[in-house]
Chain A
């Protein structure tokens, strides 16, 4: 089997991923490029003697690297190793899409053009003569539809045929004047019998005329360069004169654009006049002057309501399941330490995180829906005016919303911003958008301290206030640290499209698997570690002294029982049992305080004391640096170890409600809301910002803000109470 790599290239929103999915079945996987932290989706499948790997590159409008995201694609196309370009084109917007195609043709790679969304084009009355287009370009052009899967097998067949056949030059032609000059250079090279081992002389001539550095470097080494130079000078002069423009970049663009529109006019025919389509009708409502923003806020509110109320149902089942697992497994294990490790460490820790899987799934589904339907661009349009006042860019909205899912892809999504300062500013603010990993903490606390009907609103409130704080922070940073020019707002508003269920499922499924993997590895280890440092060293002195006290109480109990009658015994022992229970609790508390974790907690407690945190909460905030879900699992381990006496309070939510004051719980939420996202995210930040200085600023900035605001929350709430 021969391994081949196919690069999927196209403008944004042409259905690249969808097509990859349609071709490969459901083998799409999301991974990272080595070195750069950009998500690349790959799909594998085998056909005849080929093992084919698709690389779904980030969409780009042209090869002119406007944003960092587009640079990734450009770099891959220029330097990466691949065998064929599959250029995905939106048939309903052929003219503009072909502009990129012409640039791709200049790369001189094997190429196949997929005229995607043919079904939509037919509905819009657009007909493309694919055979004629193939002849004109000398490159196979196949009409497909990723939605109906029409013609997908033909596309695969064509790809295989092209892979087997030797490379054929495309027929990209320029205006007569430019062709004339190119011909002069080619004739000269041919006369001198110049031959390059990979490039044709036409290719070299184009490279020279377009002033490509690599080609110049190559030709400069040749002795014939001396004779070539005056020829080139002359040719360029002619081109500038004919094109009435002395900027080569603009000349190139005009050439490409003329070719693309010429081709488009040749192969495309429009049957019915373009009428007001569905997208315009929806837009009339969704970006309406007055209704647009309220609708947007309502949709967001709905998402968080759904996250809480719908997620609540399976959450109960998972919680019960883990509770049952803990009991059954615990009963079979003889060794006490091992039993504690498995039940109190692993099951309590991992269980408390897995429990939130339904919420995470709903949240990611919501974000994926926003992205795939095209509503995200509308939100950016609606919010730009408002965002701009705070020094942010309308496009910042996209990384910021992604930040509600996870900060890691959000930092990467900030690449769509071209201006470095805008990008950094947005990245500083992303942390204020509570990520999915913080959701378990909020769900836990909202459930513990508020009525069930209110919990969804509280959740929405937490997210909204986080976002508002972010805006204020943006303004502060904009007028202090990140002064400078604003990035222009130029953005395509894609058509509204019903997302493919398969693709949505794929996104939610892969995020869920990632979450579970994290629970099974990272959080499992963290839970075990926290269990260990919260169980050892075991202090036998405390154990003994309390056991002695309890025994003494039990002794008096039995003494008291003996002389009295049977019916009095139960009455008399009730307060006794309570006393024993309090002693038992005290013992566990004391034992815990003397473990490594307790000592650690005690050391940092003074730092968090003004915020109303006890040492357990202080430890949880620290462990939350590893991953925000660990906060919940830490609380789970810490409180489940201490709760042996109060069996009826088996749910963590109730334990927390009875152990924390309202004011400190709110201060805790505020702190968690703002302080540094996890270490993994911080590493990505450092990579994306390419600066240790800014990373250090981020750490300081988030901790300081979190501490101050949590302090204010705690003090105000205590005063009010």
Chain B
């Protein structure tokens, strides 16, 4: 499952980040990292962008970028 399919207010675990080069570095420096929990907090009107809670910070992603992040449901 990738992050774009996660429902609002569901907590998931990051399994892999399939981005390349600079995008990957940026995601890492913003706190994305394998084994961390994320929660989708809000989505925009047409679900173009999503707001995530990640550790102590909030990060916004476009849906295309969310597709690159592989997650699994937190049991």
A residues near B (Cβ < 8 Å) are: 61-62, 64, 66, 92-96, 99-100, 249, 253, 257, 274, 279-280, 283-284, 287-290, 292-293, 377, 380-382, 384-385, 388, 394, 418, 486, 488-495
Confirm or deny: B22 has a beta carbon within 8 angstroms of a beta carbon on chain A.
Answer: yes
A292 to B51, CA, bound (A): 13
Give the tally of cross-chain contacts (CB within 8 A): 116
List chain B residues, Cβ under 8 A from A94: 56
List chain B residues, Cβ under 8 A from A388: 48, 62
Q: Which residue of A lies closest to B31 (CB)?
A: A96
Q: Which residue of B lies closest to A489 (CB)?
A: B62
- Assuming A66-B25, A385-B44, is B60 touching A493 (CB within 8 A)? yes
B61 touches A283 (CB 8 A): no
Interface string of B23-37 (1 = CB under 8 A from A): 101111111010000
A384 to B43, CA, bound (A): 12
B residues 47-74 touching A (CB-CB < 8 Å):
48-49, 51, 53, 55-62, 64-65
Apart from the given pairs A61-B30, A64-B26, A100-B29, 10 other A-B contacts in the complex at a CB distance below 8 Å = A64-B25, A64-B29, A96-B29, A257-B28, A287-B44, A385-B45, A486-B64, A490-B60, A490-B62, A492-B57
A263 to B33, CA, bound (A): 17
A348 to B65, CA, bound (A): 56
A257 touches B33 (CB 8 A): yes
Q: Which of B26, B43, B46, B56 has the largest count of A CB atoms less than 10 A from its CB?
A: B56
A475 to B39, CA, bound (A): 34
A489 touches B49 (CB 8 A): yes
A289 touches B45 (CB 8 A): yes
A489 to B22, CA, bound (A): 12
List chain A residues, Cβ under 8 A from B58: 279, 283, 492-495
Mostly helix, strand, loop or mixed at chain A's interface?
helix
List chain A residues, Cβ under 8 A from B23: 488, 490
Confirm or deny: B13 has a beta carbon within 8 angstroms of a beta carbon on chain A.
Answer: no
B29 touches A62 (CB 8 A): yes
Confirm or deny: B41 has a beta carbon within 8 angstroms of a beta carbon on chain A.
Answer: yes
The smallest C-beta distance from A421 to any residue of chain B, in angstroms, reads 15
A93 touches B55 (CB 8 A): yes
Residue of A99, A289, A488 touching B62 (CB-CB under 8 A): A488
List chain B residues, Cβ under 8 A from A96: 29-31, 55-57
The smallest C-beta distance from B32 to any residue of chain A, in angstroms, reads 9
B residues near A (Cβ < 8 Å) are: 19, 22-23, 25-31, 33, 41-46, 48-49, 51, 53, 55-62, 64-65
Q: Which residue of B lies closest to A13 (CB)?
A: B57
A253 touches B56 (CB 8 A): no
The smallest C-beta distance from B64 to any residue of chain A, in angstroms, reads 7
Q: Which of A280, A288, A489 has the largest count of B CB atoms less than 10 A from its CB?
A: A489
The smallest C-beta distance from A102 to any residue of chain B, in angstroms, reads 11
A494 to B26, CA, bound (A): 16
Q: Which of A96, A99, A394 has the largest count of B CB atoms less than 10 A from its CB?
A: A96
List chain B residues, Cβ under 8 A from A92: 56
List chain A residues, Cβ under 8 A from B19: 488
A490 touches B48 (CB 8 A): no
B59 touches A493 (CB 8 A): yes
The smallest C-beta distance from A150 to any residue of chain B, in angstroms, reads 21
List chain A residues, Cβ under 8 A from B25: 62, 64, 66, 249, 253
A382 touches B44 (CB 8 A): yes
The smallest C-beta distance from A116 to any residue of chain B, in angstroms, reads 14
List chain B residues, Cβ under 8 A from A493: 51, 57-60
Q: Which residue of B lies closest to A388 (CB)?
A: B48
B29 touches A99 (CB 8 A): yes
List chain A residues, Cβ under 8 A from B42: 283-284, 287-289
The smallest C-beta distance from A267 to any residue of chain B, in angstroms, reads 15
Mostly helix, strand, loop or mixed at chain B's interface?
mixed
Residue of A287, A288, A292, A490 touching B59 (CB-CB under 8 A): A490
Closest 10 CB pairs of A and B: A385-B48, A62-B29, A489-B62, A493-B58, A61-B29, A96-B31, A93-B56, A381-B60, A491-B60, A64-B25
A289 to B23, CA, bound (A): 27
B65 touches A490 (CB 8 A): yes
Q: Which of A257, A290, A292, A488 has the largest count of B CB atoms less than 10 A from its CB?
A: A488
A488 touches B64 (CB 8 A): yes
Residue of A274, A287, A488 touching B51 (CB-CB under 8 A): A287
The smallest C-beta distance from A90 to any residue of chain B, in angstroms, reads 9
List chain B residues, Cβ under 8 A from A249: 25
- Assuming A66-B22, A289-B44, is B49 touching A385 (CB within 8 A)? yes
B65 touches A381 (CB 8 A): no
- Assuming A488-B65, A490-B61, is B43 touching A289 (CB within 8 A)? yes
B41 touches A283 (CB 8 A): yes
List chain A residues, Cβ under 8 A from B41: 280, 283
B56 touches A377 (CB 8 A): no
The smallest C-beta distance from A269 to any residue of chain B, in angstroms, reads 14
B44 touches A489 (CB 8 A): no
A92 to B58, CA, bound (A): 12
List chain B residues, Cβ under 8 A from A274: 56
Q: Which residue of B lies closest to A393 (CB)?
A: B62
A418 to B26, CA, bound (A): 11
List chain A residues, Cβ under 8 A from B65: 488-490
List chain B residues, Cβ under 8 A from A384: 44, 48-49, 60, 62
The smallest C-beta distance from B48 to any residue of chain A, in angstroms, reads 3
Q: Which residue of B lies closest to A126 (CB)?
A: B56
The smallest C-beta distance from B6 to any residue of chain A, in angstroms, reads 17
- Assuming A92-B56, A96-B31, A381-B60, is B26 touching A293 (CB within 8 A)? no
The smallest C-beta distance from B41 to any residue of chain A, in angstroms, reads 7
Residue of B30, B44, B55, B56 touching A490 (CB-CB under 8 A): B30
* 12 pairs, CB–CB < 8 Å, chain A vs chain B: A61-B26, A64-B25, A96-B57, A100-B29, A257-B33, A280-B41, A287-B51, A292-B45, A384-B48, A492-B58, A492-B60, A494-B58
A279 to B26, CA, bound (A): 24
List chain A residues, Cβ under 8 A from B62: 384, 388, 394, 488-490
A288 to B44, CA, bound (A): 7
List chain B residues, Cβ under 8 A from A381: 44, 49, 51, 60
The smallest C-beta distance from A95 to any residue of chain B, in angstroms, reads 6
Q: Which residue of A lies closest to B42 (CB)?
A: A287
A489 touches B60 (CB 8 A): yes
A279 to B56, CA, bound (A): 12
A492 touches B45 (CB 8 A): no
A687 to B17, CA, bound (A): 36
A95 to B61, CA, bound (A): 20
The smallest C-beta distance from A251 to any residue of chain B, in angstroms, reads 12
A578 to B5, CA, bound (A): 80
A274 to B25, CA, bound (A): 28
Q: Which residue of A lies closest to B56 (CB)?
A: A93
B59 touches A93 (CB 8 A): no
A380 to B61, CA, bound (A): 11
A80 to B44, CA, bound (A): 42
B55 touches A95 (CB 8 A): yes
A60 to B64, CA, bound (A): 24
- Assuming A95-B55, A279-B58, A283-B42, is B49 touching A394 (CB within 8 A)? yes
